[in-house]
Every structure is written in structure tokens, then in C-alpha cells.
Amino acid sequence: MSAGSNRILRWAVLAIALLLQPVLAHAQGVQRAEVYEYGTYVSDGGVEVGTTRQGIVRSQTPGIRQIESTRTVIAQLGAEFGFRYKLIGSRPGALVPITIVAKFPPPGVLGRTSPVPILRDDYMQVTTTGKEDFLTWTFEMRSDLVPGTWTFELWSGGKKLTEQSFEVILPPTS
């Protein structure tokens, strides 16, 4: 097979997987997401794994440690916030595709390659029912420091599993 044929085959498999996402999620019996911790965190470092549709860098880290249980986050470079969750389903250990949606307050945040502010972004990832997992955001660029309500949603099979909101505020002035 030629390199072009391989590329077309990979894209076809990805397209089929995306079309089957609602069916697979429903078949695996994802009932809900149990959020059991939220607030500010420190991570063990991250590895870039790609970008979202809008060009926001996605990273994965092997672990996080909670600093404070809060829904109010001070906008400062290096600050990390989010939540820990577990997908509850009829088959613990089943692989399930989920869609993660991020909603940012106006004027929005900037992606790596986009000069246009982003108010909403999403991406898909595969996770496991019954496994403890987490979703965090780290303020890495000055353009991330946007005060207002930041909302993160987890979706599976066309059903919203959870919505978590955080109020980002500017640091106090001296």
C-alpha cells in the first residue's frame, strides 16, 4: 500500500470511530460522571499530545495534587485548576470516547496558531469507566488570564455527563 493509501485508510477509520462515538458510548452504558474533587492543583509536569480544533494545546500529565478546594481561581501564570472525576457505567473498565467542551468568558483565549479569540472549544478523548481521571487547565500565556466564568463539560453519546464552572478573578492589586 502506498503512503497516500495508508493516510486515506487512517482518516476513514477515524471518521467511522467519530460517527460511532454515540453508539459506542451508549453500548458501554455510561450513566454519569461523578465529580469528587475540584479546585486548584499542581501537576507532575505535562507532555504535549496535540491541539484542539481551535488550536489550543492539549497536554497530559501523570498526576496532580490538590492545593485548595475552591471554585474561585486567581488569574496568574502557572495557576492550574479543574476537577477529578470518575465515569460511572454498567461495565467498569470499558473504554469510552468522551467529548470535552471548554467555554471561556469574553473576550476569549487565544490558541497557539489563531489570532482570533476562542469562546468555545472541544476535543474527543478515550477514557475508562470506573477509573479516576481529571481535567485541568493551566494558565500558560498572558492571553489565558481572562476573568469571568470558565465552564468545562464532559459529554458521552450526546448526553452531558457533568458541567463544572470556575470563577476566574484578577489578582488583588497592592
- What is residue 16's predicted lDDT score, i.e. its pLDDT? 53
- What is residue 136's predicted lDDT score, i.e. its pLDDT? 95
Q: CA nearest 31: which of 130, 152, 135?
A: 130
- Tens of pLDDT, residue by residue, the chain (174 residues): 555 544 554 554 455 555 555 444 444 579 999 999 999 999 987 788 888 888 888 888 888 999 999 999 999 999 999 999 999 998 999 999 999 999 999 999 998 777 899 999 999 999 999 999 999 999 999 999 999 999 999 999 999 999 999 999 999 886
What is the pTM for the complete model shown? 0.81
Q: CA nearest 38: which of 166, 171, 167, 172?
A: 166
Determine the Cα–Cα distance for residues 129 and 154; give it in Å rounded to an integer.
Answer: 13
Determine the Cα–Cα distance for residues 153 and 101; give it in Å rounded to an integer.
Answer: 5
- What is residue 45's predicted lDDT score, i.e. its pLDDT? 77
